[in-house]
């Protein structure tokens, strides 16, 4: 059936959704593509259960014959997802107040071995080997929420060494061998081309990243500020004139070389003190050993936050925001917690449901799922975005020490 027939079958939800779709899908060159994009987005928003073209057509007011067109739009239509994602980021910036970029990992369980990028991998949370796709999402933190605006597929298993398999899945040759660090630094390069968003700091969880130094070095090349949670064993240099390497934990445990601030965790009314949170800050700045040596121009502040109850391990951060108050830095760090919440909620919009075998198809589907999430989140938040309360330190992880969503390494 034609796209115009499908478009006519999509119920009118008013000017809000029409305005959103007109702006985000403006990059489509053909009106037929725009109509299928609108139908796919509407179906993602309203279909319950699994979000495949067939199930979405059957579960909504779309004619069953629309399933073929939805499938073709995602898997065969040669549209570029990058402009759509740029417009999503711009829509968030215009509607909310962005304050940081962050990156979260998403493992997408799969059956079989034919889905693009699928491979067997150890789940760091459960310790089990899972068959999955490994995705990295770039999210824009604004208000109390995070909005996914870009995606990468991290190849593992035998994909990087099998050019024929990559060709069949239509994976560009340049994707072979790209590490987590490569993807994160690639995000930073793309953001640099968006003037209104390029100056935002990056909030990352590098606690389980095998190449945290590579990520930090890459972001340093782009001159962006960072607030990164790191492992206790993260190597640092306290003396720029000495090659002696120590760890961030050892550094912050030297009492004479640190100062302690007690931050107050307030209740919703802003007056009641729920608990006092001690934070240790190393008195001087530190450097980070990189793959090619030490970046002498890059100074970091090291922070340690012990658990007030002593039930959990201490948490550590490195930040280039050396002139900012400790409470401001840790308030920024909460952006990654918001990213984990967003990634978990994305399942309702189909991020786990793509069944195709092509790289472009996967990116098309993830773009549309992101658009559905952004629209729904912005619609709920418009007029009700409340800034985070001042002086609020980040909450302790609500999960086990290995929360899902951390960047779990640079090696596949």
State the average pLDDT over residues 36-41. 93
Q: What is the pLDDT of residues 207-259, one digit of tens each?
A: 988 889 999 999 999 999 999 999 999 999 987 667 788 999 998 888 777 77
**Distance (Å, whole) CA 265 – CA 271:** 10
3-state secondary structure of 238: coil
pTM: 0.86
Phi, psi for 196 (deg, rounded to 5): -75, -15
| Residue 311 near residue 304 (C-beta atoms within 8 A) | no
Mean pLDDT of the chain: 84
User: For position 183, what pLDDT does the model report?
Assistant: 96
Mean pLDDT for 335-351 is 93
Question: Which tokens belong to 105?
Answer: 């990992």
Alpha helices in 207-325 (DSSP H): 212-221, 248-252
**pLDDT bucket at 39, cuts 50 / 70 / 90:** very high
Residues 302-323 have pLDDT tens digits of: 999 988 777 889 999 999 999 9
Distance from C-alpha of 199 to C-alpha of 271, rounded to nearest angstrom: 33
Report how many helices (DSSP H) and strands (DSSP E) the chain contains, helices first: 12, 14
Q: Using DSSP, state whether 42 is helix, strand or coil.
A: helix
Bridge-based pairing of strands 226-230 and 202-205 is parallel
Q: What angle do CA 185, 208, 283 make, to 5 degrees?
A: 85
Most confident stretch, 49-63, 186-200, 339-353: 339-353
Q: Which domains does the chain possess?
A: 1-79 (no CATH), 80-381 (3.90.350)
Rg of the Cα trace of the chain?
Answer: 22
Task: Render pLDDT for 162-201 as a digit per residue (tens, 0 to 9).
Answer: 999 999 999 999 999 999 999 999 999 999 888 789 899 9
pLDDT band of residue 401 (cuts 50, 70, 90) is very low
Q: How many CB atoms lie within 10 A of CB 126?
A: 11
CA distance 121 to 159: 13
251 vs 308: CA distance, rounded Å: 20
Q: What is the dihedral of CA 116, 122, 124, 128, to 10 degrees?
A: 120
pLDDT band at 301 (very low <50, low <70, confident <90, very high): very high
- CA distance linking residue 100 with residue 182, whole number of Å: 20
Assess contact for 205 and 406: CB atoms under 8 A.
yes
Mean pLDDT across the stretch 258-287?
73
Chain CA centroid to CA 90, Å? 16
């Amino acid at each position: 059936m034609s796209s115009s027939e499908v478009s006519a079958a999509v119920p009118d939800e008013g000017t809000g959704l029409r305005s959103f779709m007109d702006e985000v899908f403006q990059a489509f060159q053909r009106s037929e593509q725009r109509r299928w994009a609108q139908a796919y987005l509407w179906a993602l928003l309203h279909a319950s259960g699994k979000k495949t073209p067939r199930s979405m057509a059957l579960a909504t007011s779309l004619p069953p014959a629309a399933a073929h067109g939805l499938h073709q739009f995602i898997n065969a239509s040669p549209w570029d997802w990058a402009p759509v994602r740029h417009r999503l980021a711009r829509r968030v910036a215009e509607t909310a107040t962005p304050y940081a970029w962050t990156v979260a990992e998403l493992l997408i369980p799969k059956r079989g071995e034919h889905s693009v990028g699928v491979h067997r991998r150890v789940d760091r949370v459960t310790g089990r080997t899972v068959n999955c796709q490994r995705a990295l999402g770039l999210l824009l933190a604004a208000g109390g929420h995070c909005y996914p605006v870009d995606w990468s597929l991290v190849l593992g298993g035998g994909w990087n060494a099998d050019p024929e398999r990559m060709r069949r899945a239509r994976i560009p040759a340049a994707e072979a061998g790209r590490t987590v660090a490569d993807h994160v630094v690639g995000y930073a390069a793309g953001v640099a081309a968006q003037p209104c968003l390029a100056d935002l700091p990056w909030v990352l969880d590098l606690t389980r990243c095998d190449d945290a130094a590579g990520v930090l070095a890459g972001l340093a090349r782009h001159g962006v500020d960072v607030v990164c949670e790191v492992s206790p064993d993260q190597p640092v240099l306290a003396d720029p004139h000495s090659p002696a390497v120590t760890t961030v934990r050892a550094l912050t445990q030297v009492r004479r070389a640190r100062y302690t601030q007690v931050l107050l965790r307030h209740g919703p009314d802003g007056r009641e003190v729920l608990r006092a949170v001690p934070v240790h800050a190393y008195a001087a700045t530190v450097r980070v050993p990189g793959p090619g040596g030490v970046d002498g121009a890059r100074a970091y502040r090291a922070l340690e936050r012990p658990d007030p109850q002593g039930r959990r391990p201490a948490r550590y951060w490195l930040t280039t925001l050396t002139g900012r108050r400790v409470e401001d830095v840790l308030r920024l760090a909460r952006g990654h917690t918001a990213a984990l919440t967003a990634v978990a909620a994305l399942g309702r919009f189909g991020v786990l449901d793509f069944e195709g075998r092509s790289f472009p198809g996967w990116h098309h589907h993830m773009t549309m799922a992101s658009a559905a999430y952004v629209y729904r989140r912005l619609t709920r938040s418009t007029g009700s975005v409340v800034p985070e309360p001042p002086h609020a330190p980040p909450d302790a992880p609500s999960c086990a020490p290995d929360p899902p969503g951390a960047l779990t390494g640079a090696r596949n």
